[in-house]
Amino acid sequence: MKQLKITINGEVKTFDLPENGEYKCEVTDSYVPKEGDCVMVELTDYSSLYWCKVTDTTTTFIDFKLSVNSESVISKNGCFEKSDNRIYTKITPEELKAKYAEAGYDWDYETDTIKPIKWIPKEGDEVWFLNAHIEPEKFTFIENVNFDIILLEKGLLFQTEEECQKFADHCWEFINKKNS
């Protein structure tokens, strides 16, 4: 009879192998997140991806203070179950910072906090704002024009027409609620 002997940490384990048949041996690494790790979490049953810094682990859960998903949605104070339908991949803090930046936030590893990235247009940039009809309108930003400066300070300038339209939709939703 053939036997397979494996030594793990000085301990020998022996397995009897069948006389007839093929044998296949595979060695895989199994990553288990620990506190302070930055991870990508793949939920295989939902085809979703999340990125976060691990704040605590138990035998069944991995806790986080903040996470960002593949839709750039931020979640606060949650956990992921340790199960077969979760794949954890260790990433660098820089990779996690880049994921938060994609969602429009600056992330700090030490405090595990985020703050919005403030966009400031440069002289001559094409920018968008809502006109009096609450419609996106494009114009060229000029740094020393009061109108441009006021819109910027109030957070009413947008880099893209899509961002401006999203804000217009929000405004119309608010107006329609007030009028109903």
In a domain, 169, yes or no: yes
CB neighbour burial string for 81-91, b if at least 16 within 10 angstroms, e if fewer: eeeeeeebeeb
pLDDT of residue 117: 84
Instruction: Mark whether 48 and 78 lie in a shared domain.
Output: yes
User: For the chain, what is the radius of gyration of the CA atoms?
Assistant: 26
Q: Output the pTM of the full model.
A: 0.57
Range of the domain at 84: 38-108
- Tell me what percent of the residues of the chain surpass a pLDDT of 90: 64
> Are residues 55 and 44 in contact, defined by beta-carbon separation less than 8 angstroms?
no
In a domain, 147, yes or no: yes
- How many folded domains does the chain comprise? 2
In a domain, 120, yes or no: no
pLDDT digits (tens, 9 = 90+) for 100-158: 998 889 999 999 999 988 888 999 999 999 999 999 999 999 999 999 999 988 889 99
Six-digit token string for 32: 């288990």
